[in-house]
Amino acid sequence: NAGVTQTPKFRVLKTGQSMTLLCAQDMNHEYMYWYRQDPGMGLRLIHYSVGEGTTAKGEVPDGYNVSRLKKQNFLLGLESAAPSQTSVYFCASRTTTFEQYFGPGTRLTVT
């Protein structure tokens, strides 16, 4: 079991560029999440999915889009990156008893 994996681990973008972060889980979990973590801000939920083909907005969804075409994958897209999106991004999936499993994170810098 690989658990939750994230690709890439690091990325530097210029303002206005686009990119997609990939999250994959092999635990057959229905629920998946994208968070961002910033110093002094804790974890903030960007988008989440309660099953294949579904997505919903979290508390900070602006500037991001997501897709869940396959149950095991949850993609996070940045259409036009801004310096305010410099952050560490974590993907997580959840068991039926609410335990979350997190990926190792993607460190994104937007210059």
Partner 1 sequence: GDSVTQMEGPVTLSEEACLTINCTYTATGYPSLFWYVQYPGEGLQLLLKATKADDKGSNKGFEATYRKETTSFHLEKGSVQVSDSAVYFCALSRGNAGKSTFGDGTTLTVKP
Q: Which is nearer to partner 1, 2 or 42 (CB)?
A: 42
- Our CB check for partner 1 shows the closer of 17 and 37 to be 37
Q: Using CB under 8 A as the criterion, which residues of the chain lie in contact with partner 1 when the complex forms?
A: 4, 31, 33, 40-43, 45, 48, 50, 56, 58, 90, 92, 94, 97-105
**Least distance from C-beta 15 to partner 1, angstroms?**
26
Task: Give least dist CB 80 to partner 1, A.
Answer: 27
Nearer to partner 1, 5 or 17 (CB): 5
Grouping H, G, I as helix, E, B as strand and the rest as coil, residue 25 is strand
Residue 58 or 63: the one with the smaller Cβ distance to partner 1 is: 58
Which residues are within 8 A (CB) of 59 and not within 5 positions of it... i.e. 6 or more apart? 44, 45, 46
Q: Tell me the CA distances in angstroms from 63 to 19, 60, 66, 96, 104, one per residue in order.
A: 12, 9, 11, 30, 22
Q: How far is CA 27 from CA 10, 32, 86, in A?
A: 24, 11, 29
